[in-house]
Amino acid sequence: MPAADVLADPGSLRAGLAGTGYLADDGLSTVAWLAHSLQRPLLLEGEPGTGKTALAEALAELLEVPLVRLQCYEGIEASQALYDWDFPRQILHLRAVETAAAAVPGAFPAVTGQDLEADLFDERFLLARPVLRALREAPCVLLVDEVDRADDEFEAFLLEVLSTWTVTIPELGTVRAQTPPYVVLTSNRTRELHDALKRRCLYHWIQHPGLERELAIVRTRLPQVDEALAGQLVALVQQLRTDEDLVKPPGVAETLDWARALHALGASRLDPETAARTLGAAVKYREDAERVRMALERTLTR
């Protein structure tokens, strides 16, 4: 399907995403479509494991463009997001020129300082990092993952790039995106992002999906898993999320892992024993495991 058709309206974007195995609800597909149509970055927040990162991957697959990913972390700097010069190679190059010039006098008639410098700050010594790569390779999907982990200064820098779509490299000139990349930012809300950045973006809070949609997700992603098993498992996970006061409620990603684990063991229906054995796929805290085991006893042995 050509990309222009997929992006005709929110409904077709939703259908297109479903084609890649990502089931978006009305809200998400509308906001994702608006992000494209208004050429704004899309800021996604939500519980871990609700498919924030997966959306960017699905979009890239659907639009048949590359996905450029920038994983943020504490202390990330512009040089890790934009570009850097390959210093060791530059030195090596200098030395090579020097040695060659000394060995064969006259072979390099007039190596002036300026020439050499222009040579050094050449494209081949430039290490393009994700943001610069995204601007060059656009159209593409740029995923800025877990932006809340980066520092404020980095946020300000991102804001600048996201509003102008240009990056200036003093030695080379200005790089401007032909078409702005589709930008998806994700945040786990470990801290409140700066208002200026939020203002620039469209905002969407992703919730855990309801029973039907989660079941549909499992069926789409893992068609090999037995239907009855999938139904039982999703019902159980939904119940764990709402009723049990878990330290870390399982996300959709965990449901999928659990279903995969059960399938690998050849289970065709969920019984307390197999469920307890494969629990590690979905529940990652000791306290939670205790609670879930008790819940399993209650719900599955009836």
Partner 1 sequence: MYAVSTGAGAEGTEVEGWEIGQTLGGFARACRAAGLPVTADRERTFLAACAAVGLDSREHVYWAGRGTLTASPADVEPFDRVFTGWFGGRPMHAVSGQEPPRTSTLQAALDEPDPSGGRGEPSDQMVAAVASTEEVLRHRDVATLSPAERAAVRRQFATLRPRPPVRRARRHTPSHRGAVDGRATVRTHLRNLGEPSRIRFRRRATRARRVVLLVDVSGSMSAYADSLLRLAHRMVQAAPRTTEVFTVGTRLTHVTRALRERDADRALLAAGDAVPDWSGGTRLGQSVGAFVGRWGRRGMARGAVIVVFSDGWERERPELLGEQMRRLGALAHRVVWVNPHRGKEGYAPVQAGIVACLPYVDDFVAGHSLATFQEVLDTVAEARERHGILRHA
Contact set with partner 1 (CB under 8 A): 3-4, 6-10, 26-27, 30-31, 33-40, 45, 48, 63-65, 74-75, 77, 87-88, 90-91, 94-95, 98, 113, 116, 120, 138-139, 148-149, 151-152, 179-180, 182, 188-192, 195, 198-199, 202-205, 207, 245, 247-248
Report DSSP state, residue 48: T
Say if residue 293 is exposed, middle or buried (CB neighbours under 10 Å; 0-12, 13-18, 19+): middle
Minimal distance, residue 128 CB to partner 1, in Å: 18
Measured CA to CA in angstroms, residue 55 lies from 18, 165, 299 at distances of: 11, 22, 33
Give the nearest distance from C-beta 291 to partner 1 in angstroms. Answer: 13
Q: Which is nearer to partner 1, 65 or 216 (CB)?
A: 65
Compute how many other C-beta atoms are within 10 angstroms of the C-beta atom of residue 190.
8
Measured CA to CA, the distance from residue 28 to residue 206 in angstroms comes to 8
Phi, psi of 182 (to 5 degrees): -80, 115
CA atoms within 13 A on the CB side of 128: 17
CA distances from 283 to 110, 131, 189, 241, 251 (A): 69, 35, 22, 11, 10
Q: Which is nearer to partner 1, 60 or 267 (CB)?
A: 60
Structure tokens at 253: 């990603």
> CA 125, CA 87: separation in Å to the nearest integer?
8
Nearer to partner 1, 46 or 215 (CB): 46
Least distance (Å) from partner 1 to the CB of residue 82? 16
Closer residue to partner 1 in complex, CB, 213/263: 213
Distance of closest approach, residue 231 Cβ to partner 1, in angstroms: 25
CB of 203 vs partner 1, minimal distance in Å: 5
Q: Which is nearer to partner 1, 37 or 168 (CB)?
A: 37
Q: Smallest distance from the beta carbon of 265 to partner 1, in angstroms?
A: 30
Q: Which is nearer to partner 1, 114 or 301 (CB)?
A: 114
